[in-house]
Amino acid sequence: MERFESISAKKAVVCFAAVLCLLVLGGCGKKADENKPVSEVKTEAEKMSVDKLKSMATTYKDAIVEKQEEIKKLSEKLKDIPVTEMLGEEAKGIKSEVEALNKSISALKDRFNVYYDKLKEKGGDVSGLEL
């Protein structure tokens, strides 16, 4: 019985390690990070290939577009709120969300522009990256 428990424990450890590796490797895709210092983004962009720059610019563009879509949805919600309730809690909450999204978009655009400008500088194809 001891031997069986030992083998099962080893299998469990190996399975756990395999799952952990998959999670780590699966999470390696770059995501748009609005909190990364622009100076750090510039330093990284200097070392990137044209393909990597385009990939990063696309990642940031996608994040920006996604947040712009969220703003559109929230704006539609605001339109549905009667004028008499525009100072109410629901409207204030929506306005606050829109403000936060606009701030986030601004930060993302700052970083996007670093990749976009460096891509242009290196002669890369910037088609499809217009905001």
89: pLDDT confidence band, cut at 50, 70 and 90? confident
CB atoms within 10 A of CB 114: 23
- Alpha-carbon gap, residue 47 to 68, rounded angstroms: 30
Give the rounded distance of the alpha carbon of 61 from its chain centre: 9
Tokens representing 98 are: 């829109």
Whether residue 6 has pLDDT greater than 70: no
3-17, 25-39, 56-70, 103-117: least confidently modelled range:
3-17
Tokens 């879509």, located at residue:
69
pTM: 0.72
- Alpha-carbon gap, residue 47 to 42, rounded angstroms: 9
- Alpha-carbon gap, residue 57 to 51, rounded angstroms: 10
